[in-house]
């Protein structure tokens, strides 16, 4: 352990909220974590609480079963005669299960049982975290579902098929997609009935290292938050430290380095989709517009690719200002935490919206739906308005001509005017251009911004993505993804596109030597909303 701590010493400067217990997450309505657990089998406020563990598959290369520990909360109204649906819950990376029933009081009062569990490598559970690998954590989730299916007070759709929903954010959103996809793979049908994942990923590698450029602070935070329970396999700590030190995602191509591509290959919806699987169940997405790890675009890709068309008709996408957030100092951004869309759709926060969603999807399937917003994407703007779109795809192009972006460890950001206000943009965006770069590892960081002039333009919702040219190129045609965003630009201000040589989210990942990247025939494709 000492060697691992020394490898990660630089990472401790990221300032994890609450020490090394968990990744820093700021959501308007994130899952509550309780500091104390009631004793096993004790009744509290008319609910029955049971703490226990089950045996799951051994760690790779071993034979000893791994314990997965959980808290089961039976609501007062549940019985063999009056069966109720159950909601599964799990924690974010570096956290542990919520065992205090008061944290789930809104759900139990609404007539739901709860099972909250420690994921492998965290809390009281054993083993190492393999970051939602179907071959390992997939077994853990399926074992818990099997346990739930044997509870006589839980509603069943058929033998072995309990009526279940799922909640949780970040890593606690990852297990939901894993569990739902794994039941399709193993049983050929859905067992989970509805999901409400928050601030989670589509492609884990692309989240941690878009275009192969490591999000330094988040890669180090991931490793550091796993240290207290020695959660990750030893070689993964080494690889994450290598990536943060070298600025390049370790893929095993350099002799003596680890292969993170192989470790993360199956760990998310992207791989499941590549195997021909899609979810047929309703999903209430909650994604952070200001999230600098699992960006809005990650959620939108799950919406577009992980669900069948029928499932989307019964699903809702909510983007709020929050998530895995860090201050945007350079390029300068604005900090905001708000959830106007949950309030507009459900009259409260995301948790209250999720209860109404589960009521319609788990309890009253045949009743006329009262909740609005299905089959739509609802995104919070940086000024806390809610913009609704059918698909949040680009609708309009803007020719920007030639843009010359500075590269190197320091230097000025370049802000190019796109359009004058009033204009509203909400959803996915990208650039097309002919790129020329003379240097090795030329890098610039791109994002949308708003201001009165290029000098005072500030990032929209604090996100940038890298344009990386690993080798010299001349006039190479590129399609470049830029951060999804939602913003209403008022009259008197303009929308800008910022190119910055550096970003603190990608600390130390700038080009090593000064230079420029030139983009000719640049066209910006934006999801402009009708007035």
List pLDDT tens digits, range 69-119.
999 999 999 999 999 999 999 999 999 999 999 999 999 999 999 999 999
23, 15 Cβ separation under 8 angstroms: no
Preceding omega of 331 cis (within 30 degrees of 0): yes
Q: What is the DSSP string of 101-153?
A: GGGGHHHHHTT-EEEEEPPTTSTT--S---SS-TTTHHHHHHHHHHHHHT-TT
Q: What is the DSSP string of 324-359?
A: S----TTTT-----B-HHHHHHHSS-HHHHHHHHHI
Residues 264, 137: Cα–Cα separation, whole Å:
13
Q: How far is CA 443 from CA 190, 212, 405, 468, 518, in A?
A: 43, 11, 9, 5, 11
Name the nearest CA neighbour of 97 among 121, 123, 74. Answer: 123
Cα first-last separation, the chain: 58
Measure the CA dihedral 214/216/220/221, to 10°: -110
The pLDDT of residue 329 is 77
The pLDDT of residue 23 is 57
The pLDDT of residue 9 is 32
Question: For the chain, which ranges sit under pLDDT 50?
Answer: 1-21, 29-44
Query: What is the DSSP code (8-state) at residue 362?
Result: I
Report the DSSP beta bridge partners of residue 167: 89, 196
The pLDDT of residue 45 is 53
Q: What is the DSSP string of 234-284?
A: HHHHHHHHHHHHHSS--BS-STT--BHHHHHTTSSHHHHHHTT--B-S-BE
List pLDDT tens digits, range 390-430.
999 999 999 999 999 999 988 889 999 999 999 999 999 99
The pLDDT of residue 26 is 65
| Residue partners of 446: CB distance under 8 A and separation at least 6 | 431, 464, 465, 466, 467, 480, 482, 497, 498, 499, 500
Name the nearest CA neighbour of 28 among 497, 481, 294, 342. Answer: 342
The pLDDT of residue 14 is 31
């Amino acid at each position: 352990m000492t060697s691992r701590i020394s490898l990660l010493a630089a990472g401790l400067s990221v300032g994890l909220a609450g020490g090394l217990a968990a990744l820093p997450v700021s959501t308007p309505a994130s899952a509550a974590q309780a500091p104390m657990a009631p004793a096993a089998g004790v009744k509290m406020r008319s609910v029955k609480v049971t703490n226990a563990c089950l045996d799951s598959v051994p760690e790779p290369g071993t034979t000893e079963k791994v314990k997965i520990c959980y808290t089961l909360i039976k609501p007062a109204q549940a019985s063999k005669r009056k069966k109720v649906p159950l909601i599964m819950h799990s924690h974010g990376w570096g956290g542990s299960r919520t065992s205090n029933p008061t944290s789930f009081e809104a759900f139990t009062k609404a007539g739901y049982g709860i099972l909250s569990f420690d994921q492998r490598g965290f809390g009281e559970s054993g083993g190492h975290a393999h970051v939602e690998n179907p071959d390992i954590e997939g077994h853990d989730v399926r074992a818990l579902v099997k346990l739930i299916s044997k509870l006589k007070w839980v509603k069943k759709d058929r033998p072995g098929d309990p009526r279940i929903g799922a909640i949780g954010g970040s890593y606690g959103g990852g297990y939901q997609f894993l569990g739902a996809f794994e039941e399709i793979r193993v049983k050929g049908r859905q067992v989970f009935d509805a999901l409400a994942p928050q601030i989670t990923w589509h492609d884990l590698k692309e989240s941690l290292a878009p275009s192969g450029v490591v999000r330094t602070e988040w890669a180090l935070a991931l490793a550091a938050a796993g240290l207290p329970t020695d959660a990750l396999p030893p070689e993964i700590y080494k690889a994450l430290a290598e990536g943060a030190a070298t600025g390049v995602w370790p893929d095993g191509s350099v002799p003596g380095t680890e292969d993170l591509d192989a470790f993360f290959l199956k760990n998310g919806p992207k791989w499941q989709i590549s195997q021909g699987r899609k979810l047929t169940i309703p999903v209430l997405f909650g994604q952070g517009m200001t999230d600098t790890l699992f960006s809005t675009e990650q959620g939108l890709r799950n919406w577009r690719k992980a669900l069948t068309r029928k499932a989307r008709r019964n699903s809702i996408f909510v983007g709020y200002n929050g998530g895995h957030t860090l201050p945007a100092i350079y390029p300068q951004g604005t900090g905001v935490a708000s959830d106007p869309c949950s309030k507009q759709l459900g009259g409260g926060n995301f948790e209250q919206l999720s209860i109404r969603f589960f009521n319609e999807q788990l309890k009253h399937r045949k009743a006329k739906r009262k909740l609005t917003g299905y089959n739509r994407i609802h995104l919070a703007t940086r000024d806390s308005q809610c913009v609704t779109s059918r698909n949040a795809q680009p609708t309009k192009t803007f020719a920007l001509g030639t843009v010359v972006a500075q590269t190197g460890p320091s230097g000025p950001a370049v802000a190019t005017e796109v359009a004058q206000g009033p204009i509203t943009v909400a959803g996915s965006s990208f650039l097309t251009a002919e790129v020329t770069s003379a240097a090795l590892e030329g890098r610039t960081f791109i994002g949308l911004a708003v201001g009165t002039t290029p000098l005072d333009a500030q990032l929209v919702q604090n996100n940038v993505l890298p344009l990386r040219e690993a080798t010299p190129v001349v006039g190479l045609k590129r399609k470049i993804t830029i951060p999804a965003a939602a913003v209403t630009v008022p009259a008197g201000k303009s929308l800008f596109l910022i190119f910055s040589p550096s970003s603190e989210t990608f600390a130390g990942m700038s080009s090593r030597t000064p230079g420029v990247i030139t983009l000719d025939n640049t066209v910006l494709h934006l999801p402009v909303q009708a007035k």
